[in-house]
Amino acid sequence: MILKNFFKRYLYELITIIIIFTIDRVSKLYVISFYEKTGISEIYFSKYLNIHFIWNEGIAFGLFSFGNNFFYNSLSLIILIILIVLFFYAFKNNGIKKYSLIMIFAGALGNLFDRLYYKSVPDFIDFHFQDYHWFIFNVADIFITLGVIFMIFLEFTGNNQKENE
């Protein structure tokens, strides 16, 4: 009964999580499948965008890439704990803050899924300008980044002061 009420009350939020997770999964599966069929890991799209498939064993932007299973599993456990806290925190908030946290949660969930299933995260979006390349990232990272940007915006505009009073 409690679970039924939860799904009824938070239907739009759960659908948003499912949509973000699905978009991320489909994009990653497509790139992985293309690489496995062709062996091509880099596709030139434009002078600003390439598809460059890599496996990221670290966290954001390849940081903390460990060759040690203990550190990798510990990091995955920490991410899982943060995700659980983030999930409950997202549903306790309203408005833009709620959906910002949901974007962060859904993106992180997509990357955690890959971390557990593949033991690394497939990254493939490569923005660049001339010889300067930004870190290679994926669709989940886009949603995480957008969620963080919205949260920062809320902090600077003071839109969350009513919640804290």
- The number of beta carbons lying within 10 Å of the beta carbon of residue 78 is 11
Largest distance between two CA atoms of the chain: 57
CA 37, 131, 111, 121 dihedral sign is: positive
Question: Which residues carry out catalysis?
Answer: 123, 141
Residues 6+ apart with CB under 8 A from 144: 103, 104, 107, 108, 111
Distance CA 51, CA 32 (A): 11
